[in-house]
Amino acid sequence: MALWKRKTTLEELNKTSQGCMVEHVGIEFTVLAEDRLEATMPVDSRTTQPFKLLHGGASVVLAESLGSMAGYLCTQGDQQIVGIEVNANHLRAAHSGYVRGVCQPLHVGRRNQVWEIKIFDEGDHLCCISRLTTAVIDL
């Protein structure tokens, strides 16, 4: 069974991100594969903390943005996705360049979903692992 129920392109995903936090912190969707969604985010003045390291909250923004978009792509019609729980374990600091988030499903049900998001630095070192639980809302 196909994971994605909505048809879209990376260009369309990136257009939907304009004018909100996703655009503000520079997140760009880069891979829409059969089993995962990926995005990058710069490590710069928008996403670092005072010690010039990637802010943990920025990592969570990347994780929740990926999981929420992936969740939406698994819905149909007027259904919407809302996050109900997110956690993150910060394993390694990122100092510069970009980080890459890789989002894959752990559970995609009719009423809730659980997504795993791994965030890697440019050296492909795991910096953060996050889990997002979403609820499917019928409008």
From 17, 25, 23, select the one nearest 55 (Cα to Cα): 25
From 85, 74, 88, 92, select the one nearest 117 (Cα to Cα): 88
The CA distances from residue 59 to 33, 96, 109, 136, in Å, are 22, 14, 25, 23
Catalytic residue check, 11:
no
Q: Which of 64, 85, 116, 122 is catalytic?
A: 64
**Catalytic residue annotation:** 64
